[in-house]
Copies of this chain bind each other. A is one copy, B any other.
């Protein structure tokens, strides 16, 4: 089996954390996730930069995904260098030292029933 799958640069153009939620936290809290898969035999050190509509990019946020592990990063939980503002349009770019695979998901529970969406992120060095 191949032990290294993916790309080193990824981008997600759609980003938006709804301000309201309905239902029990944290499962039903409106959130955005970057699901990262690291199939390598070494840890992945990833730098995440957030882009906005009306101000300079913010980052890097530093994320580690251990060897042979997956991590589902909630943008809601990021704090350093600063929290991700709610009800604000943003986009994100990931730069990793080893190939990884990144998929983007959102759960929106502003209304009483949740809505879901997902897509493969854009891999920049394909």
B-binding residues in A (CB < 8 A)? 1-2, 5-6, 9, 11-16, 23, 27-28, 33, 35-37, 39, 47, 49, 51-54, 56-57, 60, 68-72, 89-91, 93, 95, 101-108, 110-124, 126
Q: How many copies does the complex hold?
A: 4
Minimal Cβ-Cβ distance residue in B for A87? B27
For the complex, give the distance between the alpha carbons of A43 and B106 in Å. Answer: 28
Task: Say whether chain A's binding surface is mostly helix, strand, loop, or mixed.
Answer: strand
Minimal Cβ-Cβ distance residue in B for A60? B1
Q: How far is the CB of A109 from chain B (nearest CB, A)?
A: 8
Query: Is there contact, CB below 8 Å, between A68 and B51?
Result: yes
CB pairs A–B below 8 angstroms (22 shown): A1-B47, A1-B49, A2-B95, A6-B11, A6-B124, A11-B101, A13-B101, A14-B35, A14-B72, A15-B35, A15-B70, A28-B111, A35-B89, A37-B51, A91-B101, A101-B122, A112-B113, A114-B115, A115-B116, A116-B116, A120-B122, A122-B123
